[in-house]
Amino acid sequence: MSRFKGVDFYAVDGLLDDEERMVRDSVREFVDEEFMPVVVEHHRAGTFPAELIPKMGELGFLGAGLRGYGCAGLNSVAYGLILQELERGDSGLRSFVSVQGALCMYPIHAYGSEAQKEKYLPAMARGECIGCFGLTEPDYGSNPGGMVTRAVEDGDSYVLNGVKMWITNGSVADLAVVWAKLGDEIRGFLVEKGTPGYSTKDVENKFSLRVSVTSELIFEDCRIPKENLLPGVSGLKGPLSCLTQARYGIAWGGIGAAMAVYEEALSYAGNRIQFSRPIAGYQLVQEKLVWMLNEITKAQLLAWRLGRLKDEGGMDFSQVSLAKRNNVWMALECARKARDILGANGITDEYHAGRHMCNLESVYTYEGTHDIHTLILGHKITGIPAYD
Amino acid sequence: MEILALVKRVPATDSKIKVAGDGKSIDPQGIEFVLNPYDEFAVEQALKTKEALGGTVTVLTVGGPESQKELRTCLAMGADKAVLMKHEGPELDAHALATVLAAKIEELHPDLVFCGRQAVDTDDAQVGQRLAALLGWSCLSDAGTFELSDGSWTGTRDIEGGKESVKGSLPAVITCNKGLNEPRYPNLKGIMMAKKKPLEECEVQGAENKETLVALTPPPARPEPAILGEGPEAVAVLMDKLKNEAKVL
Ligand SMILES: Cc1cc2nc3c(=O)[nH]c(=O)nc-3n(C[C@H](O)[C@H](O)[C@H](O)COP(=O)(O)OP(=O)(O)OC[C@H]3O[C@@H](n4cnc5c(N)ncnc54)[C@H](O)[C@@H]3O)c2cc1C
């Protein structure tokens, strides 16, 4: 088994402290030893390696950036490095951890009651309770504020009606964090698996993120106790603050996927001989490899700086938009170039580039599409929103 | 139960080793150093023993200040404290190393010492056994299984084509082989806790080598692979090469 060595052209390692490097190496080893041997079979079957969940819990990957309640309490760079290493394996593996930590544990940690935190967070950190995050609807993707899922107060319960679409971990989740309108206001609700009126249906036949479960959540007069409302937040800023956390991690994840395809393309190009020499000896191929290295290096510095800003309390959501937009875009471009360098071999699952390339199409779209992040940044610098 | 695990910082096994200018050491440039893989089994066994019977696990290495990294890895895996016996300059031979370790062990008086069967850099596989001899302790080398009960141990030694079942008394030195256990990854909480755990430093004293490393020679470069021909014509050429060059037929 070959070990993944990472890409570090600018000695970015020197910007990390010992703990951060140790976290990175530990996750890297986990991915090499536990995940890489099974990724292809899960990708073919379109399944998530659920057997790894308890192990990821035990190692502390779930909600790793949160403090207390059995979470590891890592700083932001160490947390980012976890996601980088996981996405080096597969975007689906990283998605699982992002959804669990940033989209489900984070809102409970930030906005939940003490009872909700005690009840769910330690079990979620151990991987015994899996979460999903229901924001997107069939008719409201980039514009989640328009959502039509509603909650109505009825005695000591809320009754939910509506449909959520494209929900990662949907059918496997024990707990759904669902955003719905209570009157005119968006609020967060905790819906446990098995609640009458709550059902799920998986999205089948995906080209992308096959190592991840994507489902539709259906609420038909789904009655939940009043104490399942997240008390600490109302309005779109609730879900958006979760997305900021998740997008932060995705900015790191993109680096991992890009490193994986770069390493594969570089090694292939060195061995594949066409005409008189290895294809790595041709200028056009070198240009592609250099492009990848160049973009990976920039992305690493961007993510590192963003992490430090996050810990210093000076991170703005628009900076997260810039990093998500750049790093996922460059990862997708790297995967396309790597696939190209691999020639026909690049279209089979004997190599990883094709899988990463297809995965990254999802990552480019979810958590705010590339273009929506362009608009967020455009709004930020001009003061004029280009959306209504 | 006081448990000691002996560990060493070594180049990762997939490193491309280059001999340094002095002809006697390796060029550390571009090499990734890791905890000796066999020592991972030793640390894991120490932690398992502690988990079963209580006690403390100390990890100890003889090496330069950079070995702190490997000690921290052991602390992150769950060891309670670490000792760095500082030594720089030419590496100690097995005898000198066992001697300084024995002296330190007299001071720490553990009930059990685990170490790897060998360090993958020098592949010497002598330290554990020499240490047991100097201390006058029982020793299970190449341990494939190991169990403790009431102040004595039973285990198996991996031997060519089979296993030897052995039992012995405590204190003991156990040299751990691959297969003894499945070393854990340092978990993230463990990594965060590691920096708060004690790491004691002391100087190696009075070490005297009886062997001198004269030179390191890299293995000869592998000959370029050659295509001898294609289809049926290749068979005759291949037969000739196997008979007359490789002399295997
Ligand atoms: C695999 C996967 C997993 C997902 N997991 C989750 C999850 O766990 N939870 C969840 O809530 N959601 C999830 N999503 C949904 C995801 O967040 C949405 O797909 C995303 O927000 C985009 O919405 P949409 O697909 O409806 O596309 P649309 O919003 O319809 O966008 C289509 C295109 O139009 C463009 N566009 C839209 N509006 C504008 C505008 N104003 N100006 C210019 N261009 C515009 C977009 O950039 C895009 O190119 C997931 C999606 C996928 C693919």
Predicted confidence band at B107 (pLDDT cuts at 50, 70, 90)?
very high
Rounded distance between C-alpha atoms, residue B14 and residue A19, angstroms: 24
Contact A26 B194 (CB under 8 A): no
User: Which ligand 1 atom is at minimum distance from the Cα of A369?
Assistant: 47
Nearest neighbour of A60 by CB, restricted to B12, B72, B188: B188
- Residue A75 predicted with pLDDT over 80: yes
Q: Which residues of A touch B188 (CB under 8 A)?
A: 23, 26, 59-61, 64, 72, 74, 78, 82
Q: How many residues does chain A have?
A: 388
Rounded distance between C-alpha atoms, residue A59 and residue A56, angstroms: 5
A209 lines ligand 1 (CB under 6 A): yes
Query: A114 and A122 in contact (C-beta within 8 Å)?
Result: no
Enumerate the active-site residues of A.
367
Predicted confidence band at A1 (pLDDT cuts at 50, 70, 90)?
low
Predicted confidence band at A197 (pLDDT cuts at 50, 70, 90)?
very high
Instruction: Write out pLDDT tens, residues B88-103.
Output: 888 899 999 999 999 9
**In chain A, whose CA is at the least distance from the CA of B12?**
A3
Query: B142 and B175 in contact (C-beta within 8 Å)?
Result: yes
Contact A22 B195 (CB under 8 A): no
Nearest neighbour of A26 by CB, restricted to B12, B32, B186: B186
**In chain A, whose CA is at the least distance from the CA of B66?**
A18
- Residue B247 predicted with pLDDT over 90: no
Per the structure block, which two tokens stand in for A29?
Answer: 């080893």
Per the structure block, which two tokens stand in for B88?
Answer: 């720089």
Rounded distance between C-alpha atoms, residue A264 and residue A4, angstroms: 10
Phi-psi region of B116 (alpha: psi -120 to 50; beta: other; left: phi over 0): beta
Interface mutation vs chain B, best among A1, A3, A16, A18, most B CBs within 10 Å: A18
A123 lines ligand 1 (CB under 6 A): no
Burial of A246 (0-12, 13-18, 19+ CB in 10 A): buried
Query: What per-residue confidence (pLDDT) applies to A92?
Result: 98
A131-228: CATH topology is Butyryl-CoA Dehydrogenase, subunit A; domain 2 (2.40.110)
Neighbour count for residue A306 (Cβ, 10 Å): 24
Q: Which architecture does CATH list for A12-125?
A: Orthogonal Bundle (1.10)
> Percent of chain A scored above 90 by pLDDT?
98
Predicted confidence band at B248 (pLDDT cuts at 50, 70, 90)?
confident
Q: How far apart are the first and last CA of chain B?
A: 59
Give the contacts of A358 (CB within 8 A, at least 6 positions apart): A207, A208, A210
So what's the ipTM on this one? Answer: 0.81
Give the contacts of B117 (CB within 8 A, at least 6 positions apart): B38, B125, B128, B141, B142, B143, B175, B176, B177
Burial of A377 (0-12, 13-18, 19+ CB in 10 A): middle
**In chain B, whose CA is at the least distance from the CA of A71?**
B189
Query: What per-residue confidence (pLDDT) applies to B116?
Result: 97
What residues does B3 pair with on adjacent strands?
Answer: B57, B112
Q: State the total domains in chain B.
A: 1
- Containing domain of residue B182, as a range? 2-203
Rounded distance between C-alpha atoms, residue A230 and residue A228, angstroms: 6
Between vectors from CA A324 to CA A318 and to CA A328, what angle results, nearest 5°?
155
A93 lines ligand 1 (CB under 6 A): no
Nearest neighbour of B188 by CB, restricted to A3, A18, A72: A72
**In chain A, whose CA is at the least distance from the CA of B31?**
A5
Task: Give phi and psi for B222, each to the nearest 5.
Answer: -75, 140
Query: What per-residue confidence (pLDDT) applies to B233?
Result: 85
Query: A70 and A238 in contact (C-beta within 8 Å)?
Result: no
Predicted confidence band at B206 (pLDDT cuts at 50, 70, 90)?
confident
Asked if the structure places residue B87 within a domain, the reply is: yes
Query: Could you tell me which residue, B77 or B222, shows the higher pLDDT?
Result: B77
Instruction: Write out pLDDT tens, residues B155-173.
Output: 999 999 999 999 999 999 9
**Beta strands B172-176; B112-116: pairing state:** parallel
Rounded distance between C-alpha atoms, residue A118 and residue A109, angstroms: 10
- Residue A2 predicted with pLDDT over 80: no
Query: What per-residue confidence (pLDDT) applies to B230?
Result: 83
Q: Which residues of B touch A72 (CB under 8 A)?
A: 187-189, 192
Asked if the structure places residue B240 within a domain, the reply is: no
Rounded distance between C-alpha atoms, residue A77 and residue A289, angstroms: 27
Average of per-residue pLDDT across A180-198: 98
Query: A246 and A98 in contact (C-beta within 8 Å)?
Result: yes
A149 lines ligand 1 (CB under 6 A): no
Domain boundaries, chain A: 12-125, 131-228, 237-382
Rounded distance between C-alpha atoms, residue A192 and residue A177, angstroms: 9
Give nearest CA residue, ligand 1 atom 32: A142
Cis before A225 (ω within 30): no
Strand spans (E) along chain A: 131-134, 150-154, 157-168, 175-182, 185-192, 198-202, 214-225, 273-274, 277-278
Mean pLDDT score across all residues of chain A: 97
Task: Give phi and psi for A90, each to the nearest 5.
Answer: -170, 145
Contact B195 A18 (CB under 8 A): yes
Asked if the structure places residue B197 within a domain, the reply is: yes
Alpha helices in A112-190 (DSSP H): 114-125
Rounded distance between C-alpha atoms, residue B39 and residue B9, angstroms: 9
CATH of the domain at B16: 3.40.50.620
Instruction: Write out pLDDT tens, residues A327-365.
Output: 999 999 999 999 999 999 999 999 999 999 999 999 999
Neighbour count for residue A243 (Cβ, 10 Å): 22
A364 lines ligand 1 (CB under 6 A): no
Interface mutation vs chain B, best among A1, A13, A23, A26, most B CBs within 10 Å: A26
Give nearest CA residue, ligand 1 atom 50: A166
Asked if the structure places residue B150 within a domain, the reply is: yes
- Residue B218 predicted with pLDDT over 90: no
Alpha helices in chain B (DSSP H): 37-53, 68-77, 94-108, 127-135, 188-194, 232-240
B contact set with A (CB within 8 A): 12, 14, 32, 69, 72-73, 76, 185-192, 194-195
CATH homologous superfamily for A237-382?
Answer: Butyryl-CoA Dehydrogenase, subunit A, domain 3 (1.20.140.10)
The answer to whether the A12-125 and A237-382 domains have the same CATH topology is no
CA of A243 to the centre of ligand 1 (A): 13
In what helix (H) or strand (E) does residue B11 lie, and over which residues does it extend?
strand B9-11
> Percent of chain A scored above 70 by pLDDT?
100
Rounded distance between C-alpha atoms, residue A234 and residue A202, angstroms: 29
**Whole-prediction pTM value?**
0.91
Average of per-residue pLDDT across A100-111: 98
